[in-house]
Structure 1
Amino acid sequence: MNETQLALVALLAGIFIGGSVAAVIVASLRARDRALAAVSVDVPDGVSSVLHAIDDAAVVVDSSMRIVAASRPAVPFGLEEGEILANDELRQVVRNVRTVDTATTETLRIRKGALPAEPRLVVVRATRISTRLTLLVMRDITENERVEQMRRDFVANTSHELKTPVGAVSLLAEAIESAADDPPQVRVFATRLLAEAGRLSNLTARIMSLSRLQSGDVINAQRDVSVDEVVAGAIEAHALQAEAAGIKITRGGERGLYVRGDPQILSEAVANLISNAIVYSSRDSSVGVGVKAVENVVEVAITDRGIGIAEGDQARVFERFYRADPARARRTGGSGLGLAIVKHAIQLHGGEVALWSRPGRGSTFTIRLPQIAAPDHEAPKQRKKKKKNKKDKGGEATARPTNGDIK
């Protein structure tokens, strides 16, 4: 082998050895980088940007339970960057995922804010993103769970409430059949059957009405609604009921006020409150309907001087099928849905319903709705009315409900 060949072989050997050494060095460097990344507490590139963009509460915690990155929705839960993860349940989730080394999911109740904030139901998913860093993502499912519970309660309550009149109709039908040869008895059973059928029809109609209101899409075409017309229609609808019960309905307060919404739904809401006031009032008493505007809010107050509502029942009277006085409700055919319908109808119009009551003194239900300006064609009439009222101070007194009284 001549010198040229020896030089070539040496060159090739040098290149091979140099390449091998370079490969070893590169591999070593990469292994070092991976090792450093594994033990690093620095958040990987892009993770912080993703956290700041998501709508769920999410944090990255290190091995000492320190929060090194957090999304904005995590702050109300007390999870902020630089702070220690204080919640014991979340700390346990982090320990669990570090032990099993696979993503885990838990459902927890975590308080959102300081006391007296209520605990929120959240689904927590924990994932390890390095040997020292763990990602926690929390999704608040409180409202979803609440809606689902309402649906289950509604189905259960409806089934229970329908069972009574359906069973009564069935028994009375059998009684009529067995008393076919006794016409007077048949008439008695038939009268009771008609009453139960009416109760069943009323209950079914109210259930359907409440379902439509809860769906939130019953107001197809809103318009300017005269509060005077709503109140007058509701009073007229229950004039016979009031007369039969020996109750006098008085209307007072401001005139010419307007709100935005569905006049039929609003009239039914006011009518339900008037009907309840009549039912729970003693004979020869009165029910007052007062209307006034306060800071661009129209208030319609229905006041009775009846038995009143105990303080423990006041928070629940707007629940479906809840009856503060079950015995009276059975006698009057009450379904326990009237106030629930009122609440949802008014909320659908952007308003609220308030209650004041004292046992033995009576109750005042106040509907509050956003006020709107009177239509153009009504403005001249209102100006004339105001001028007339100034000239004639002996007119009708304004009815203002205060602590259950109409003054």
Structure 2
Amino acid sequence: MTLPQTALLALAVGLVIGVGLSLLLVWAYRARARIADETSLVVPDGVTAVLRSMDDAACVVDASGLVLAVSKAAARFGIRVGAPLENPELRQLLRSVRSEGGSHTESMRITRGGLSLDPRLVSARASAISPRMSLLIIRDVTEQERLDQMRRDFVANTSHELKTPVGAVTLLAEAIESAADDPAQVRHFATRISAEATRLGQLTGRIMSLSRLQADDTLTDARHVSIDEVIASSIEAHVVQADSAGVELARGGDRGVWVHGDPQILIEAFGNLIANAIVYSPRGSRVGVGVKADAGVVEVAVSDQGIGISEGDRERIFERFYRADEARSRRTGGTGLGLSIVKHATQRHGGEVTLWSRPGRGSTFTIRLPRIDAPEGIEDDKKSKKKRERKAAKAAARVRNGENA
């Protein structure tokens, strides 16, 4: 081959290579632009706006598992824009949607923020929104599961608790029938039936009270409530119980304190604490009810000198049907609902209840409630009442001294 021919061949090869490289570069740039367009255009403004308004964790994910857009709540599960979706179960759910189409929903437990602690039960729904993009919505149903379990436990525990007095009444009725010719036995069994009926009435009444407290977060009969009157009513309702148990009831602390709430609910709550304190106090001891008022809070503490509560029981003492001393509660007719009613009644009034206890030294339950100012006219009424009391005392003194009133 001559030199000119070789040069022409080299020039032709160079032109082919140059054109090929140019075409390759053009194709690469177009492919890159197409991918960029797909990642930006497949997430429409409407989808992004919906994500911003969602309370649930949600995100748009591409075929490689890269997160392109998220809702605000997605951060709770460690899902961020520009990062890959790390959870293998969620990735498998997305793969199923891409291969089969449509939408899939699964329940699973996943961790939040990449932590191994605090696994959450979620309902995850994946839907295909384009050939390359999928929408993933993660709804946290952990609290719903807990509430459902609480309802199931409540029904099961209630059924179990009701069986005991109902069964006892049935057996006692059969015993009365068989002892119809023995008046003494009939009277004995009738007394037992009356006790079981009282226990059944208390149990059903407290179940209804607890159900009402849990049914609604609002107070239907809220008004200005005098803590003095509430405590006086609560103590008065348990004077007979205290006398029978040989326990002294004492009231101390601040006076003239007011809260906003339902007086009947508060009377029941304080009454439950006083009743429990009496039951678990030895004969000859004292149950004290003390009031302490700060700027915006009133604390009502019910203290006893009883057997106390162990540390393990203190963690569960406010659970429904939980009894720290099962045998003693059975003997005294305890329902295991009193402290649960106290907790829910306090929360309904925007407060909290705390416990201090030491085995062998006694227990103190303290209810903290928001304090309000006394209603208008109360101070004037108090002054008038004191004047009337002083005038009556002077009159009584003159009568005792033989003077004319």
After TM superposition, is the score higher than 0.5? Answer: yes
Q: Deviations over 1:350-383 (max 9, x none)?
A: 1111111111111111111111111121235779
Change (3 A) 1:359 1:116: farther
Does residue 1:59 correspond to 2:59, yes or no?
A: yes
- Residue 39 of structure 1 deviates from its aligned partner by 9.0
Q: Deviations over 1:37-57 (max 9, x none)?
A: 899323432321221122221
CA contact (8 A) 2:43 2:60 kept: no
Alignment partner, residue 358 of structure 2 = 358
Alignment partner, residue 346 of structure 1 = 346
Change (3 A) 1:323 1:347: same
Alignment of 1:75-86 (within 5 A): 75-86=75-86
Alignment partner, residue 249 of structure 1 = 249
Counterpart-to-counterpart distance in 2, 1:117 and 1:256? 48
Counterpart-to-counterpart distance in 2, 1:219 and 1:272? 19
Change (3 A) 1:374 1:111: farther
Question: Which one of 35, 38, 41 corresponds to residue 40 of structure 1?
Answer: 38
What amino acid maps onto 1:199 in structure 2? R
Does residue 1:207 correspond to 2:199, yes or no?
A: no
What SS does structure 2 have at the residue aligned with 1:86?
coil
Alignment of 1:134-283 (within 5 A): 134-216=134-216, 219-283=219-283
CA contact (8 A) 2:296 2:372 kept: yes
What amino acid maps onto 1:102 in structure 2? G
Alignment partner, residue 22 of structure 2 = none
Counterpart-to-counterpart distance in 2, 1:128 and 1:348? 45
Does residue 1:118 correspond to 2:118, yes or no?
A: yes
Counterpart-to-counterpart distance in 1, 2:239 and 2:358? 26
Task: Provide structure 2 residue ranges, at least 5 long, that are not aligned to the other structure.
Answer: 1-29, 386-405
Q: Deviations over 1:227-248 (max 9, x none)?
A: 1111111111111111111111
Q: Name the Cα RMSD after superposition.
A: 2.5
What SS does structure 2 have at the residue aligned with 1:354?
strand
Counterpart-to-counterpart distance in 2, 1:314 and 1:383? 45
Counterpart-to-counterpart distance in 1, 2:117 and 2:233? 43
Counterpart-to-counterpart distance in 2, 1:383 and 1:69? 68
What amino acid maps onto 1:44 in structure 2? V
Task: Provide structure 1 residue ranges, at least 5 long, that are not aligned to the other structure.
Answer: 1-31, 386-407
Change (3 A) 1:134 1:282: same
Q: Deviations over 1:281-333 (max 9, x none)?
A: 11111111111123411110111111111111112111111111000000100
Q: Deviations over 1:146-187 (max 9, x none)?
A: 222222111111111000100100000000001111111111
CA contact (8 A) 1:38 1:131 kept: no
CA contact (8 A) 1:219 1:262 kept: yes
- Larger mean Cα displacement after TM superposition, 127-136 or 148-157: 127-136
Q: Deviations over 1:93-142 (max 9, x none)?
A: 22332333332111122334576973332210012223332210112222
Alignment partner, residue 287 of structure 1 = 287
What SS does structure 2 have at the residue aligned with 1:79?
coil
Change (3 A) 1:126 1:299: same
Counterpart-to-counterpart distance in 1, 2:336 and 2:113? 35
Counterpart-to-counterpart distance in 2, 1:376 and 1:215? 33
Alignment partner, residue 12 of structure 1 = none
- Residue 216 of structure 1 deviates from its aligned partner by 1.8
CA contact (8 A) 1:58 1:71 kept: yes
What SS does structure 2 have at the residue aligned with 1:41?
helix
Alignment partner, residue 328 of structure 1 = 328
CA contact (8 A) 1:39 1:130 kept: no
What amino acid maps onto 1:294 in structure 2? D
- Larger mean Cα displacement after TM superposition, 259-268 or 78-87: 78-87
- Residue 143 of structure 1 deviates from its aligned partner by 2.7
Change (3 A) 1:326 1:116: farther
Change (3 A) 1:112 1:233: farther
What amino acid maps onto 1:148 in structure 2? D
Counterpart-to-counterpart distance in 1, 2:321 and 2:379? 43
What amino acid maps onto 2:299 in structure 1? E
Change (3 A) 1:301 1:116: farther
What SS does structure 1 have at the residue aligned with 2:39?
coil
* TM-score for both structures, normalised by structure 1: 0.81
What SS does structure 1 have at the residue aligned with 2:82?
coil
Alignment partner, residue 301 of structure 2 = 301
Counterpart-to-counterpart distance in 2, 1:300 and 1:317? 19
Counterpart-to-counterpart distance in 1, 2:101 and 2:145? 30
What SS does structure 2 have at the residue aligned with 1:235?
helix
What amino acid maps onto 2:329 in structure 1? A
Counterpart-to-counterpart distance in 1, 2:294 and 2:127? 54
CA contact (8 A) 1:126 1:137 kept: yes
Counterpart-to-counterpart distance in 2, 1:342 and 1:204? 16
Does residue 1:99 correspond to 2:116, yes or no?
A: no
- Larger mean Cα displacement after TM superposition, 227-236 or 125-134: 125-134
Change (3 A) 1:242 1:115: farther
- Larger mean Cα displacement after TM superposition, 65-74 or 142-151: 142-151
Counterpart-to-counterpart distance in 2, 1:44 and 1:380? 69
- Residue 349 of structure 1 deviates from its aligned partner by 1.1
What amino acid maps onto 2:43 in structure 1? P
Counterpart-to-counterpart distance in 2, 1:115 and 1:330? 44
